[in-house]
Amino acid sequence: MKTTKHVGKIKNTGNKCLVVFRTLPGESNMALVVETATLPDSYHNALIDLVDGDQSQDAFEFGEMLFVRPFPDGRPMLRGLQADGRLKKVATDNVVMTPTPNSEISLAQLNVLISEQKNCTIDELCTFVKGGPNDPGLVDSRKINKETPVKETTQKAQAADNQVLTDADIARSYRSQADAMYKEAARLRKQADELDPPKKKTTKTVDAEETV
């Protein structure tokens, strides 16, 4: 059965949500989510199409994609959600991830598993995100009240006010993400080789008589 990352629901309300950032800097017990039920249809459909895409499923955080993608009306997704007060800060133990219709896991538990896999603390998970909430100007968690909409934020990589991101802006973000993923892939490859060194390839010699 296909699994889908970044989707879940709020435990105490049952409202479906998309997890934008699984942790916040200095507050690893808090996540940033957007509830989908109250979104305008065009925004709802755009977000669902995006989260189902391969790039979003490969991304460590859904927020990486919201950072560079616009809504159909041209508004940058992350900034638009922020400006409309649709981003909410919620305790990770109050978020239930639903990777499949028949499976559930607490975001708090999932974060523990991911931190063990990456051999880091839960507080350090935000550092794996390029363009994530720990970057200056993206999401200032000090200005977010618990389980309330985000209203006071700015976006460093955003183009001029009320303008969509240019191709150059998007390209810079993609390059940053690619660099981060390359470094992470190299680190994991090194760890894998230390645990199970690759076998050296041997060259097979051909009998001279066979070549005649």
Range scoring the smallest mean pLDDT among 30-44, 96-110, 162-176: 162-176
pLDDT band at residue 135, thresholds of 50, 70 and 90?
A: very low
pLDDT given for residue 149 in this prediction: 45
pLDDT band at residue 128, thresholds of 50, 70 and 90?
A: confident
- Is residue 102 exposed (0-12), middle (13-18) or buried (19+ Cβ within 10 Å)? exposed
Read off the DSSP letter of residue 163.
-
Q: Is the pLDDT of residue 142 over 50?
A: no
Instruction: Please state the rounded mean pLDDT for residues 129-142.
Output: 48
Instruction: Please state the rounded mean pLDDT for residues 48-65.
Output: 94
Contacts with 55 (C-beta within 8 Å, 6 or more apart), sequence order: 65
From the list 134, 131, 132, the residue with the least C-alpha distance to 172 is: 131
In three-state secondary structure terms, 74 is coil
The domain segmentation of the chain, as residue ranges, is 7-195
pLDDT given for residue 127 in this prediction: 85
Distance of CA 82 to the CA centre of its chain: 17
From the list 76, 93, 79, the residue with the least C-alpha distance to 146 is: 93
List pLDDT tens digits, range 152-172.
333 333 333 334 445 565 566
More confident residue, 180 or 191: 191
